[in-house]
Chain A
Amino acid sequence: MAKYLLYPGCSMESSAKAYSESLAAIAKPIGLELEEIEDWNCCGATEYLGISLTPAYALISRNLALAAKQANGNKVVVAPCSACYLNLAKADYYMREQPKLGKMVNEALSAGGLSYEPGTLAIRHLLDVIIYDIGLETVKSKVVRPLTGLRVAPYLGCMVPRPDYEKRWSDHEHPIELDLLLKALGAEVIDFPLKTHCCGGHMTQIGPETAFELIRRLISSADQYQADIMATVCPMCQMNLDAYQTETNRYFGTNYQMPIVFFTQLMGLAFGLEPDTAGFGSELVSTKRALAKIGVEIAETETAPARPKKSSGLPMPKPLPRKPELAEKSEAEK
């Protein structure tokens, strides 16, 4: 049994519960033993690095330092979330490339009695480990309910195959790992041209129109290819495409109904697990019609009534009025 250190990341405990549940369910059958890094903290997501480098890298590297301490010969840290994976890999790479940064980060870490020697750990994405360590043959051997007839759009998002510091992926624009995995599950995999395009990330919060356009492109392309369902490897992608699909439809006057699930959920189904064990039920766009194609019955997702749109953002205090202050006059003028 291959043993790895797991960095789950915050979203696995909240918005991406389906990911962590399905991962837990499929890990055993394929012989993937994951040991969670104790006392891990948030990786800072996509924002913190844009604000201040050293503290941001220190925040990420604390996890690496903890992992290295806990390692016990396990040199591989697995991150299922794309942003977490990229941040951890980035910190490891730049601490090595820029020794000055490495020194500063270690100085910060030393305040907590920690340190990290860059290059000690191999930081890898869950998909990478499943494909290159576990292997497609093992995955294939566990399939009892092949996803025959289910057309799946493999969607990786932008952060997994790029910038690929350690040359772990087959291609940066059109990697084939996810395609091969889904094919091994028996699914009909579409040659999804936008598989590494951006889902909009946090633009849903700061510039929704931009995000909606990016979401629309992805969903409409998958729809053009007559995909029944889209499989992702990233909590952010899953949330954007699933939770904002209704709003995107409303914005463009379209009516797409593209279910978005994690690839581990489809692995779970193919391995014969019950849909709820595989994390189904929490998605917003119903998977009922798609799963019916492979003979899996699931209750229709209750579509929550659309939230009334607020006319403005968060309530904010009014700006303070200008302090009444007379212009200063020189003695002579007085």
Chain B
Amino acid sequence: MKKKNENQAEVQERIGVYVCHCGSNIAGVVDVSEVARWAAQLPGVVVSRDYKFMCSSPGQAMIIKDIQEQGLTRVVVASCSPHLHEGTFRGACERAGLNPYLFEMANIREQDAWVTSDKTEATKKAKALVAAAVGRVAHQQPLEALLVPIDPNVLVVGGGIAGIQAALEIADSGNHVYLVEREPSIGGHMAQFDKTFPTLDCAACILTPKMVSAGNHKNITLLTWSEVEKVDGYVGNFTVTLRKRARFVDESLCTGCGVCQEKCPKKVIDEVFEAGLGYRKAIYRPFPQAVPNYPVIDKNNCIFFEKGTCKACEKFCPTGAIKFDQQDEILTIEVGNIILATGYDLFDARKVSNYGYGRLANVFTSLEFERLSNAAGPTGGNIVLRDGKTVPKSVAIVHCVGSRDKNYNNYCSAICCMQSLKFAHLVKEKTGATVYNFYIDIRTPGKGYDEFYQRLIEEGTLFVRGKVAEITDVAREPGEEGKLIVQVEDTLVGKQRRIPVDMVILSAGLQARADAKEVAQKFGISCSADQWFIEKHPKLDPVATMTDGVFIAGACQGPKDIPASVAQGAAAAARVLSIIGQQQIQIEAATAIVDEETCVGCQQCIASCPYQAIIYLEDKGKAYVQEALCKGCGTCVGTCLPKCISLKHFTDDQLVAEMVGAMRTMKEFELIPMEAAA
């Protein structure tokens, strides 16, 4: 026991160790009482306990009582991930009068119990993690968190339904919102839709009032035809650089009369709003109810920009609003919080070449069908074949195109079943055609959704369970000539079937925006393997991200329908408003600090800092870290050759002590035999 006493003497601190059972989450695999018993003999440990739920009120009370009665100076809790409960336990320490940075957490759930099946191994690993935390905590120093004021302005990126909802909620509370949209008008995908499921109310009728409110709101600055170029700063104090692309139309003069659009001689296929099914002019607004209602000139297709003559729009404009010499504007705005609601892209159905989209004229995508069925669309709402006049007598709707398919996207796109049912209803109602739905599984979770499915069955829509193998125009049997034939294995009958139809609608899945990764990088957040933006917690924090002050809403986080997108838009707004309400925010105290005694002023650290947090003090010839900007990433610490930058809360002695602690369970570090400890 001599050795033990020696070790004890090294550590002046009085450390308390608390091992959590987490019900059976940890205790089911790790022998928690054994870990607590073993930890009691670690250097400096004066109290070591295990308890069913450390995060519960009695658990926290236990820590507080020990701090006050036993005079603990350091606390270690071995439980779950710090993401979940570091704040809880830091708070408990603070309430007992202990600086929260004198607390350390060992993650024996996610990093041990949940990923280790062998009980002996798991217990051994738990001991290593606890010993590491105990070793480290003795070297931790009290730190004070910095408070910074919060800019109440908010940036919302993306003017679809989620972004509009978020912007309106915040603007109504009296705070200012910059709503940035890449396209000429806000409205997003929802503006393209015909009806919405399951209520079948017209998408435009419920969306346009919201668009108009966003356009007129005194607290909303609408920036369409614009994109975010750069984001600097941190929660409460972002500086955002925007590019407002040249519209070639003076917004202050344009009345939105639409004469320019009428007179423009250049017709262009509208790939965006009309999904390639209709035309627009070179000067255009995507749709009549566009907000704002002034048009843009599509430079790449404008005759004047191509050949230097034409200017028909300028000649006819009654207010002289056409400005061919307009340039892109770069704007810089200051905001405290950012909400990303950048939406989704439709899966490119051409990739499933056996379904023939792009080759077979009468194969349509879901978005094309929305435009086809929309009264404001290219056919005035008549559901007809690509020739523009023939009404189909039979229509096939194929579910899961590009979704739930390991060749394309593994995930379920969530909206396609309901969307397909809606299409089936619209086709039947408008044309009386026979409608087939080809599905793998029907997924209709949602209020009134399954009832809608039942209604469709009663309406006489036909359902064939099976993944379509091929859509072809090659007739094999009589009756197939001139038709599109759907080759499918009907898995309920157990037979191959060939079903000839006039029209096929592919319910293409949703996928992340093509530039999602680039956008995520710009805003300092991360993407999943499928490129969807990652939320802070999938259940408990669905609209926040790991970057403070940056929130996500709508389909950019994953496939979702309109109600869910609206809910997320409002949720993100509520999160932002709660931050604004605090007026100032505590930022991480674990920042880098320069030792002015040893700094030689080489400025290597300034170049290495990804957050531009380090400046050079000309008068002293030294580097200086601006605490409010420092994220504590530690890059500068690694860069500094003379080792004169250190990172608070991650100092060399803390990390070495942590490593030595982690190795304690190894044979050569086993200070005392197990039996003696017990």
Which residues of A pack against B, CB within 8 Å? 171-174, 191, 193-194, 217, 221, 224
Contacts and interface: CB of A to CB of B under 8 A. Distances in A.
Contacts of B359: 174, 191, 193
Contact of B353 (A173, A217, A221): A173
Contact of B476 (A171, A174, A217): A217
B496 interface: no
B473 interface: yes
Contact of A217 (B354, B356, B474): B474
A171 B474 CA distance: 20
Interface string B457-480: 000000000000000111110000
B353 A194 contact: no
A171 B358 CA distance: 14
Contacts of A217: 474, 476
Contacts of A194: 472, 474
Contacts of A193: 356, 359, 472-474
Contacts of A173: 353-354
A171 B475 CA distance: 23
A221 B354 contact: no
A200 to B, nearest CB: 15
A171 B348 CA distance: 14
Given A172-B353, A194-B474, A217-B476, 17 more contacts: A171-B353, A173-B353, A173-B354, A174-B353, A174-B354, A174-B359, A191-B359, A193-B356, A193-B359, A193-B472, A193-B473, A193-B474, A194-B472, A217-B474, A221-B474, A224-B474, A224-B475
A189 B476 CA distance: 22
Contacts of A191: 359
Contacts of B475: 224
Interface residues of B, number: 9
Nearest to A197: B474
Contacts of A224: 474-475
A174 B358 CA distance: 11
15 contacts: A171-B353, A173-B353, A173-B354, A174-B353, A174-B359, A191-B359, A193-B356, A193-B472, A193-B473, A193-B474, A194-B472, A194-B474, A217-B474, A221-B474, A224-B474
Contacts of A221: 474
Contacts of B473: 193
Contacts of B472: 193-194
A225 to B, nearest CB: 9
A165 to B, nearest CB: 15
A174 B472 CA distance: 12
Nearest to B474: A221
Interface in B349-365: 353-354, 356, 359
Contacts of B354: 173-174
Interface string B346-390: 000000011010010000000000000000000000000000000
B473 to A, nearest CB: 6
Contacts of B356: 193
Contacts of A174: 353-354, 359
B445 to A, nearest CB: 33
Contacts of B476: 217
A171 B354 CA distance: 10
Contacts of A172: 353
A217 B470 CA distance: 15
A172 B473 CA distance: 18
Max chain A CB contacts within 10 Å: which of B353, B472, B475, B476? B353
B597 to A, nearest CB: 58
A194 B353 CA distance: 12
A198 B187 CA distance: 48
A174 B363 CA distance: 16
Interface string B469-495: 000111110000000000000000000
B657 to A, nearest CB: 45
Nearest to A221: B474
A170 to B, nearest CB: 9
Nearest to B473: A193
A171 B359 CA distance: 14
A171 B353 CA distance: 8
A193 B472 CA distance: 7
A5 B354 CA distance: 34
A221 B476 CA distance: 9
A174 B354 CA distance: 7
Nearest to B356: A193
A219 to B, nearest CB: 11
B599 to A, nearest CB: 53
Contacts of B353: 171-174
B345 to A, nearest CB: 20
Interface string B538-579: 000000000000000000000000000000000000000000
Nearest to B471: A193
Pick the 9 closest A-B CB pairs, nearest first.
Answer: A173-B353, A174-B353, A173-B354, A221-B474, A171-B353, A193-B474, A193-B472, A194-B474, A217-B476
Interface string B319-357: 000000000000000000000000000000000011010
A171 B303 CA distance: 37
A191 B361 CA distance: 12
A130 B275 CA distance: 37
A170 B374 CA distance: 35
